[in-house]
Chains A and B, each alone.
Chain A
Amino acid sequence: MSQLWEYAPAPESRDIANLKPAYKMFVDGEFVEGSGEPLKTINPGTEEVLAEVSTASPSDVDTAVKVARRAYDRVWGKMPGTERAKYIYRIARLIQERSRELAVLESLDNGKPIKESRDVDVPTAAAHFFYHAGWADKLSYAGYGPDPRPLGVAGQVIPWNFPLLMAAWKIAPALATGNTVVLKPAETTPLTALVLAEIIQQADLPPGVVNILPGAGDTGAALVGHADVDKVAFTGSTEVGKLIQSQLAGTGKKLTLELGGKAANIVFDDAPVDQAVEGIVNGIFFNQGHVCCAGSRLLLQESIAEEFLEKLRIRVSTLRVGDPLDKNTDVGAINSREQLTKIQELAAAGEAEGAERWTSACPLPDKGFYFAPTVFSGVSQAMRIAREEIFGPVLSVLTFRTPDEAVAKANNTPYGLSAGIWTDKGSRILWAAQKMRAGVVWANTFNRFDPTAPFGGYQESGFGREGGRAGLEAYLDV
């Protein structure tokens, strides 16, 4: 193992987050107390309470939907696209202006490393608003007919892994197409969505166009099941996605789902090894592996498997796990105790089923929820760690001999969100990319996101796209 350089701690100041002791829900342009049981959101890096957050009861959901309906009927639905666009551009700019505050707050609430919230989450969130703002007055060019109409009120439920970014993915296209929004952030990560609400207030968006209601699963169920919601967009687990699809049966509401994944990262014997190792590491350890499109199954061509695994372990052992606010941290905190328990349980299943476990010897902080980067080799397709989404920093390594076998193994899953291909041969990339039953294929790279590039799943990873021209369809009556 290579020697680690000593790093002095380089913490980002938490004062920048402007943390307040209490946060309220955002309805009709105002911050108001919800009538649900307030929740305490904690810093998963230290287990300390960050703030108390009011939550929405079913009657609050009802109020918010009514407000959103009124805003749709009276203001937003009939506002010219050119005017809607300017509001959305304002939101993009305000996110950029308050980017460091949002980044620090995100890392505090979510546990992700500051370098990631600062360099990926927040800038990409701003980019999503900026991109979609431009669509607002160009929808007649989007390929859905001369005058595609919005749906009305969108009920949106988002996960805890990219709290601000997922809010942007949901709100930006909904607003650009002329819908109004009621959004529920995840129970464990409500804070940045509520700062986004402040930004929406600063942008002077007409009251009721965007409403943000913190709460747990029951708040989400009340929202997606509300009779006056026209459109439901959900990002989260396949299990909950199925429940929502089932709950909405017969209602005629338009639904899009962004669900789980078990992506294969295929490394062929001619792949540039160092580049591939970097990509594999990024694919599974980015955001603690809390990524629906994480490259959680590594498929190595048998002839290079041993050498590759050795290099991979050396690289993984240099990952710095710890304080999310430290600028040198590579892998931050697991978002919640519940998620940590789930990861531990699945890792134990991997050992019990006979896979070979290797875990980085990196030091872990005494407090907070942490899980050392772990690589399982000798994994067979029937094992739980090859089939179930772990949603943590755990990589399962399988091998293959022929390209056809690689494709068959990669596609041997009910999911279909993403896939990775590593090879120097162009024709093989294009061949394999075509064969993957997955919505996003990264070749010689991984985990790239951009508002211009449609993202979404095949099969049980959900339906509908976010981003690009294709993503507009989810919010249009076409």
Chain B
Amino acid sequence: MSENRIAVAKTYKLYIGGKFPRSESARSYPVTDSKGAFLANAAQGSRKDARDAVSAARKAFAGWSGATAYNRGQVLYRVAEVLEGRREQFAAEVSAAEGIGVKKAQALVDAAIDRWVWYAGWTDKIAAVLGSSNPVAGPYFSFSTPEPTGVVAVLAPQRSSLLGLVSVVAPVIASGNTAVVVTSEDRPLPAITLSEVLATSDLPGGVVNLLTGRTAEIAPWLASHADVNALDLTGAPDALRADLERSAAGTVKRVLRTRAGEDFTAEPDTSRLRAYLETKTVWHPTGV
């Protein structure tokens, strides 16, 4: 590479239905590093972008939830593989976004890769761990299985730009839900680069949709959208949380109200998986 070569700068766009559109509003906003230096312009997602993302997520739900758990596990593992190959790029982006040294950023990227592997392994074990055979008092065979809730709107953590994002998105899709994610508002670039990884990991288009922009602008539309089944408030601004919960009540959404200051470097448990699962109980008579 010539010393004088001018780098090709990337246009950061949204990720909806497996494609990378600009915001339909044609708006963008400047993203800077922790010291205020310009990094790039990010698309400023709108209400209509959110609506398109929900439609894409709904469209993808039947296929993704109907895929075998083995298949979903392989796709999630594939995400980890592809991410591994781009460790340096992500370390640089996380370092710039979060204002930390490259070495520290590298550790966060590694943890994010490992998190995909962790959730990949869960896809075909959730039903065995959370499901049951029910010894009912009568001549019936009864069993219960966990099933995905549907379309989950995720307000990603504002500070942890990659590890936090992966930690909230992977459990949503591991069990067969589809996701509409509003990324960190000020640190959105690792998320958009992650969408390039998702797009090349055999993850069907629409399973994960990423919107960059103003969380406070987009979140209320998702909270009140009738085709959204669950809402993760992790990255919601404090002032908005109660309002978003109230909106979610309009269609009885499941709301994950994560405690403030979740440490994403800690080993996760099953709580984020359980948050977006419905238990279905099936009965059938026994007899000759």
Contact = CB atoms under 8 A, between A and B. Distances in A.
B47 interface: no
Contacts of B107: none
A249 B283 contact: no
B11 interface: no
User: Which 5 A-B residue pairs are closest in the complex by CB-CB distance?
Assistant: A250-B242, A249-B245, A245-B249, A450-B136, A246-B249
B175 interface: no
B130 A463 contact: no
A328 interface: no
Given A252-B257, A458-B278, A441 B137 contact: no
B137 A440 contact: no
A370 B138 CA distance: 32
Chain A contact patch, size range: 35 or more
A319 B252 CA distance: 37
B229 interface: yes
A257 B249 CA distance: 11
Contact of A460 (B150, B251, B278): B251
A445 B285 contact: yes
A439 B252 contact: no
A454 B131 CA distance: 10
Contact of B229 (A127, A429, A459): A459
Contacts of B278: 439, 458, 463
Contact of B241 (A238, A250, A465): A250
15 contacts: A143-B130, A241-B252, A245-B245, A249-B242, A250-B245, A414-B251, A439-B280, A443-B283, A444-B284, A445-B284, A452-B136, A453-B142, A453-B144, A454-B279, A463-B278
A433 interface: yes
Interface in A435-478: 436, 438-445, 448, 450, 452-456, 458-463, 465, 468-470, 473, 478
A145 interface: yes
Given A429-B284, A453-B283, A470 B269 contact: no
B135 interface: yes
State the majority secondary structure of interface residues on B.
mixed
Contacts of A143: 129-130, 270
Contacts of A461: 252
Contact of A245 (B244, B248, B269): B248
A242 interface: yes
B140 A448 contact: yes
Interface in B104-151: 129-130, 132, 134-138, 140, 142, 144, 149-150
Contacts of A443: 282-284
A378 B198 CA distance: 48
Given A470-B279, A473-B274, A463 B144 contact: no
Interface residues of B, number: 40
Interface of A: 127, 143, 145, 238, 241-243, 245-246, 248-250, 252, 257, 259, 414, 429, 433, 436, 438-445, 448, 450, 452-456, 458-463, 465, 468-470, 473, 478
A440 B241 contact: no
A452 B137 CA distance: 9
Given A252-B257, A448-B140, A454-B134, 16 more contacts: A145-B269, A248-B245, A249-B246, A257-B252, A440-B283, A443-B283, A453-B134, A453-B142, A454-B144, A463-B252, A463-B278, A468-B132, A468-B144, A468-B281, A469-B132, A473-B274
B252 A441 contact: no
Nearest to B259: A252
Contacts of A458: 149, 278
Interface in B220-256: 226, 229, 241-246, 248-252, 254
A456 B281 CA distance: 9
Given A455-B281, A468-B144, A462 B252 contact: yes
B282 A450 contact: no
A442 B283 contact: yes
A463 B248 CA distance: 13
B137 A127 contact: yes
